[in-house]
Amino acid sequence: MLKKVLLVLFFAGCVSCPGHHNSAVFLDNKKNKIYKTSFCEPENSFPQMIVVPFFGRATQIVPNCQTYPKHKTSLALMVFYHHWVKSFGDENLVVKKALEKIMIEWGVNKKVVKKGYSLDGKERRDVTVVGMTKTKSYIWVWQGYNHKISESSLIHELVHVALRAKNGHGDSDHEGDIYHGWTKQHTTMILEAKEVLRSFNI
């Protein structure tokens, strides 16, 4: 019951005055028929591609039907966008448009890459990663600790996608000095969005 109340309060908070953009802009559900016919089929082979509701052409590639039900992924995207707009705005809706084309590949194992950057911008070699932004619309995300979206790097990777849509690059060194865009405010926003997901037990 508490989850339902929280969900209602969240969506009520998404309603805004004309001229303001937030997660309410996704709620028209124009592709309702597609959303209804795109679902995980446990008897079929994996991975499977599923359309994410309310987000235009957004999709996710799932390794099984538990990682993750499409309504949970959709809610996570809405939470991200709500926090992004509240913190940074979305002039010309470039971030919204990026989310409407996003493809999320969920992985069951972490990966090792030759080169990466820590949150403070330090270069690392042969590092184990839990998420990667591969292109402007394609991200890979490890399923997360305790099999929770809130404990995955989804929100983190979406910041890279949003920065790329806004600035032309995703700022791969985060709070470092090589690229510019990612600030401590972005890091704080990630933590806040994850706390919301935890309140939904997602």
Q: Which residue has the tokens 């950057």?
A: 117
CA gap 80, 161 in Å, rounded: 11
Task: Please state, in angstroms and rounded to a whole number, the distance separating the CA atoms of residues 59 and 105.
Answer: 9
- The reported pLDDT for the residue numbered 198 is 98
- Rounded to whole angstroms, the Cα distance separating 139 from 180 reads 21
Q: What is residue 178's predicted lDDT score, i.e. its pLDDT?
A: 79
Closest CA to 138 of 98, 104, 115, 111: 104
pLDDT along the chain (202 residues), means of 10: 46 45 61 73 96 94 96 96 96 95 97 89 90 96 96 97 93 80 95 98 96
Cα separation, 121 vs 156, in Å, equals 15
CA distance 175 to 38: 38
Residues 6+ apart with CB under 8 A from 61: 47, 48, 49, 50, 103, 104, 105, 106
pLDDT of residue 25: 64
Quote the percentage of the chain above a pLDDT of 70.
82
Total residues found in the chain within this entry: 202
How far is the CA of 147 from the CAs of 60, 117, 119, 162, 196, in angstroms? 16, 25, 23, 25, 16
